[in-house]
Amino acid sequence: MLKEINLGKAKWIGTSEKSLPVDIQTAIDFKADEKAVITIACMGTFKLYVNGKKVSDDLFLPLNTDFEERYNIEYGDLPFEEKLAHRLYCPYYDITEYLKDEKNTIDFMLAPGFYEFYEYGTAKISWKIDITGINGESRQLVSDGTEKYKEIFVKESNMITGETHDFTADNIPWQDVKILTSPETPLYLQDCPADKIARVIKPKYLGNNIYDAGEIMTGYVVLKSTKAQTINVRYSELLNEDGTLNEMHIYDQHTTYITDDKERLLHPEFTWLCFRYFEVTGDAEVTECAVIHSDVEVSSEFECSSDILNWLRKAYIRTQLANMHCGIPSDCPHTERRGYTGDGQLTCAASMMQLDAQKFYKKWIADICDCQDQKTGHIQYTAPFVPSGGGPGGWGCAIVMVPYEYYRSYGDKEIFTETFPKMLKWFEYMEMHSENELVTSDLPGVWCLGDWCAPSQNQLNKLDGMIIPRPFVNTYFYVKAMEFFLEICDVTGNTEHKAEIQNRINIKKNAITATYFDEATGDFANNDQGANGFAVDLKLGDERTFANMISKYTTTKKYDTGIFGTDIVTRILFEKNRADVAFSLLTSKEDISFYNQIQNGATTLLEYWNGVRSQCHPMFGAVTKYLFEYILGIRQTKNSVGYDEIIIEPVCMEYLPSAKGKIKTIKGEIAVEYDEKEISIILPENIKAKLISNGSEYELAAGLNNFKF
């Protein structure tokens, strides 16, 4: 993990007034033959300018973390008394090219950010500049309390709802900054991509002041104004039938601009919005929509002869990127913007496979570590921690699942240095919250979910459609995490816990069978909402268990599952050679299906199958991993890490006449393309691979491999 840094004698400075965006200014001397690097620690959010020029196109820094200890937090019906860890990432920039001989002005535009939104305290900033001369001599300049500040045109800035700008105020006085309390928080150099503008969209005008960006996106609308006026912008995911913004999907997102008679480009400065449609009132030109998310490359491609699967993959990528901001994978990019551990652990493998996200997830794993209670081992439902809902199994297991998938993807076992003891601590917590060897509870007074967002069985608009028992699901995740932990023990060489953990696994599996297995039918928990899939994944039940699962889904031809069950059922069907059923569910045209989302005009994945609430939640997109692992057939062997050994085995060629795609691994690019006549495979060097087709195996070499049918 990263080493701590310090800023020497730098003071923390600010205004002590909450929610007041300001310009903090200082002046420095500099010589033309010197070099200068600035390191910035900020509790809030900032933009850096040197001599009036903006430094870097990074946005919304610092990264979102558990900044420091908070007090008087209420969690459910009880005060929050857990002990968490904290950290702050410090960006650093070479500012030599912005500086000139002698006097230079440096400005920090400081705003509340997540730090104030989550009520840690008042925004503040600290910085140091390391200056090196041509002969190697060095000096250091730091924030020291001599800086000045004044209010800026941003009058209100809220990380969730938007901003208000006023360009009409003149002659705002400079004032002395205040030296504020230094946080007791470890500082680290930032090694995770910041948010940036990824692309721009030219929106379409629909009439009546309404515009359409063409897709649900995160970012902002850029306007041009040339006269004094008030401009209001509202943002929504959906329209009503009459063409007006759907109020239920605005989530109070808005921006207001009070302009003067100068030509100005207008957009939010310190936050983003999530929308497809927006309404502009005022005489302003809409120039573009800037799509913003973490600077993470899409490192994969996929296309096949199924329009449904093509949409699914594109919608997942768009949704996942829209939920990657400030170093966390969020549940949604509007109402909450929280790094839910359940959603994040579920989608991390799909994300790591399709995006260049190694540094992004390394940072988020640190957040998961920080959100563990140091006393009990409890893992919070969100990382960084915000009082939220979830469950002990599918959410808490992130402490095991995400590092495990990270290791499998990138081959970096250093990730277990910090996480290994935390896994053991979480196992103890799960034991303490078990009854009759089933995980039955979490913190008192808070949620205790099993699976989530299953389709309602009776009412179309009903949200809570969960039937599958919560202890069944939570115990499943506990067992699955312990099974992965046994592998991690071998990887790290720390095997002293293996016997004990294996014994716990056996006990928990026996409890699941004793409680939920029906000897008469072979089903677990009535085979509701993928229950048999959960059991089969743990190698429980008998031959009827999987057979009943097949019978159910070949009859219904649609999912009945929540966020975890959908992924598990799909994977088990592929793993157990029933690609036909998995393919039929993925491409189903029934009411509960991805096709139904297409028919309703979705451009991103929905929170609920029926489209209620958020239109931009990535968790059901976890299944896109199988487009690559089974449709294209690119799979690591059981003992492979970092794609050092793979098989290529497309399993849907009978139902899918053609497919092509590629992934970028740490070994290089792996590409597969097939049609009814041939298959082509491109491999990098230093990788062991074979093709499996029609029961035969073929060794593959680096470069292009062609096979005719």
Domain boundaries, the chain: 4-191, 196-294, 324-453+469-507, 645-708
Q: Helix crossing, 307-322 with 341-354: angle to 10°? A: 120
Strand partners, 4: 188
The mean pLDDT value of the chain amounts to 96
Q: What are the start-end ranges of the E strands in 282-323? A: 285-294, 300-304
Q: Is the pLDDT of residue 456 over 80?
A: no
Q: Is the pLDDT of residue 458 over 80?
A: no
Q: Distance (Å, rounded) from C-alpha 524 to C-alpha 533?
A: 9
* CATH class held by domain 324-453+469-507: mainly alpha
Which whole number is the average pLDDT over 263-282?
Answer: 98
**Shared fold status for 4-191 and 196-294:** yes
Residue 202, both tokens? 């030219």
Please report the pLDDT score of residue 75 as a whole number: 78
Q: What are the start-end ranges of the E strands in 399-547? A: 434-435, 438-439
Q: Distance (Å, rounded) from C-alpha 114 to C-alpha 80?
A: 19
Q: Helix crossing, 579-586 with 543-556: angle to 10°? A: 40
Q: Is the pLDDT of residue 114 over 90?
A: yes
Kindly give, in sequence order, each residue whose CB lies less than 8 Å from that of residue 274, ignoring residues fewer than 6 positions away.
Answer: 216, 217, 218, 235, 237, 251, 253, 322, 332, 333, 334, 616
Cβ proximity of 275 and 268 under 8 Å: no
CB atoms within 10 A of CB 340: 28
Enter the DSSP assignment of 82.
-
Amino acid at 12: W
Cβ proximity of 505 and 427 under 8 Å: no
Distance of CA 342 to the CA centre of its chain: 11
Kindly give, in sequence order, each residue whose CB lies less than 8 Å from that of residue 168, ignoring residues fewer than 6 positions away.
Answer: 228, 258, 259, 260
Nearest to 324 by CA among 294, 291, 300: 294
Please report the pLDDT score of residue 591 as a whole number: 94
3-state secondary structure 46-63: EEEEECCEECCCCECECC
Please report the pLDDT score of residue 392 as a whole number: 97
The residue count for the chain:
709
Q: Is the pLDDT of residue 461 over 50?
A: no
pLDDT tens-digit profile of 236-253? 999 999 999 999 999 999
Residue whose entry in the numeric block shows the structure tokens 């929170």: 607
Q: Distance (Å, rounded) from C-alpha 563 to C-alpha 540?
A: 21
pLDDT tens-digit profile of 318-366? 999 999 999 999 999 999 999 999 999 999 999 999 999 999 999 999 9
Please report the pLDDT score of residue 19 as a whole number: 87
Q: Distance (Å, rounded) from C-alpha 420 to C-alpha 422?
A: 5
Please report the pLDDT score of residue 709 as a whole number: 79
CB atoms within 10 A of CB 258: 17
- 645-708 carries CATH number 2.60.420.10: yes
Question: H helices then E strands: how many in the chain?
Answer: 14, 40
* CATH architecture under which domain 4-191 falls: Sandwich (2.60)
Mode of pairing for the β-strands spanning 438-439 and 102-111:
unpaired
Q: Report cis status (omega within 30 of 0) of the bond before 384.
A: yes
CB atoms within 10 A of CB 37: 14
pLDDT tens-digit profile of 162-190? 999 999 988 899 999 999 999 999 999 99
Confidence of residue 464 (pLDDT cuts 50, 70, 90): low
Q: Which residues of 460-479 are buried (b: 16+ CB within 10 A; e: fewer)?
A: eeeeebbbbbbbbbbbbbbb
Nearest to 113 by CA among 154, 64, 149: 64
Residue 165, both tokens? 């700008």
Confidence of residue 78 (pLDDT cuts 50, 70, 90): confident
Mode of pairing for the β-strands spanning 645-648 and 688-693:
parallel
Check: pTM over 0.85? Answer yes or no: yes
Q: Is the pLDDT of residue 77 over 90?
A: no
Confidence of residue 454 (pLDDT cuts 50, 70, 90): very high
Distance of CA 201 to the CA centre of its chain: 23
Q: What CATH number should be reported for the domain whose range is 196-294?
A: 2.60.120.260
